[in-house]
Structure formats: C-alpha cells, structure tokens
Amino acid sequence: MKVMAFNGSPRKRQWNTATLLNSALKGAQSTGASVELVQLYDLKFSGCISCFSCKRLSRKKDGVCSVQDDLSPVLDRVKTADALIIGTPVYYGAESAATRAFLERLCFPYLKYAKDGRSLFPRRINTAMIYTMNVPDQMLAKIGYDRMFAMTQMTLRMHFGACEVLLSTDTLQYSDYGKFEAELFDIDAKLARHANVFPDDCRRAFELGVRMASGKVPEPVPMAWHE
C-alpha cells in the first residue's frame, strides 16, 4: 500500500497544514503502508495551460499531461499510488495557488469528454483533502466555503474514488501575535483553541491516514468540522 501526500502550504516543514499531513501519514504508516510527502512549494510548475494535448484523438496514452516541469515525475508516481492526501490552507476562499495548480494538472488529463463521463484513471483509490483556515466553523456556510470544499470533493470522487474532507478551522496564523497585525482576533481565544482543539484535529488526521491506507474504498464520508 502506497500513500502519497501533497503539502500545498508554503510553510513546508511545520505549522497547521504540514502538522496535519504528518499526522495523517503517521496513521497510514501505522497500518504498514509506505508513504511519500511531496512539498508542492519546492517544485517549479504551472497549472493547466489549456493545450488540450490530453484530449487529442491522436494521443499515445490516456491521462498524461504534456507539460514537462517539476510536477511531471510526481504525476507519474500518482499512477502507482493507492491513496492520495492533499493538504492546503485556504487563501481568499480557495485552495492555495500551488494546490489549485496541482489539482488542475492532476485531474484534467483524466477527464474524458465523452457521454459516459468516465474517468480515465485506471483504478478507484481513496483520496482526501485536508483544509486549514482562519475562518471559524460558524462562518463556513455564510461565506460559501462549504461549496468550495464540496466542489473539490466531487471532482476527486469523479476521477479517483471516495474522497474524505477534513477541516481544521479557526487556526493560528502567527507563532507570536505581538509581532503582526491582529486587532481583529481574540488572541487568547486563538491560543486556547490551538491548545485544546488542534490536538484533536491531529488525532482526526491520524485516523484519516489509517482509513486512507485501509485498501478499502469507504462509503462517502461527510465533510467533518467541529459542531
């Protein structure tokens, strides 16, 4: 069992998204799975360039992006993965730029413009999105984040298989709020939430990793955030 994870945060080695991804990979490893963590911000790559090479009738292979850059060998390794876990912060109401570019390159070659609508990815595998964000739970639907999460979840389900979404909300932006603008926030509440709630987010990520490495495609799991 091979689980590939992708960190779409520019904070590559620590902080919210990286911490949750590492917890998920520890969960996968606890089942005996092999794991790989790809730091998207270490790579030089673009999103889809709309060349439509992957849609040409004369193409040699299905599901291949013709753009050649640092992401190309990563996409080749995806073909042999048994589960994918993508972690990203939410910036201005969407996935980070690197994550969005990765999703375009990951998914579009497997989209077949045909009436049957089937994916060209050859297998069904587990997938997951881990989102971290400053927004509190009660604001998600009000500002439309729930629709963004659901759209990405639907896309991954369509192309690969079951997709679970884990949300970590109201996260810390800074390690030292005294050095940055923070008038908008209740700093004590932020710190208390990080101390009391974020460890539970890490536990949920660990359990997600276990499920991703189970080798069994589960029934669709509802998007999980704190009630």
- Residues 110-157 have pLDDT tens digits of 999 888 878 999 999 999 999 999 999 999 999 999 999 999 999 999
Residue type, 49: I
Most confident of 93-102, 181-190, 210-219: 93-102
Residue extents of the structural domains in the chain: 2-212
> What pLDDT, on a 0 to 100 scale, did the predictor assign at position 216?
60
Tell me, what's the pLDDT at 141?
A: 92
Tell me the C-alpha distance between 223 and 150, whole Å: 8
Q: Does domain 2-212 have CATH number 3.40.50.2020?
A: no
Average pLDDT across the chain, whole number:
92
Query: How many other C-beta atoms are found inside a 10 Å radius of the C-beta of residue 32?
Result: 8
Give the pLDDT band (50/70/90) at residue 37: very high
Alpha helix stretches (DSSP H) within the chain: 16-29, 72-78, 97-107, 145-159, 187-196, 198-212
Give the pLDDT confidence of 172-187 residue by residue, as tens digits: 999 899 999 989 899 9
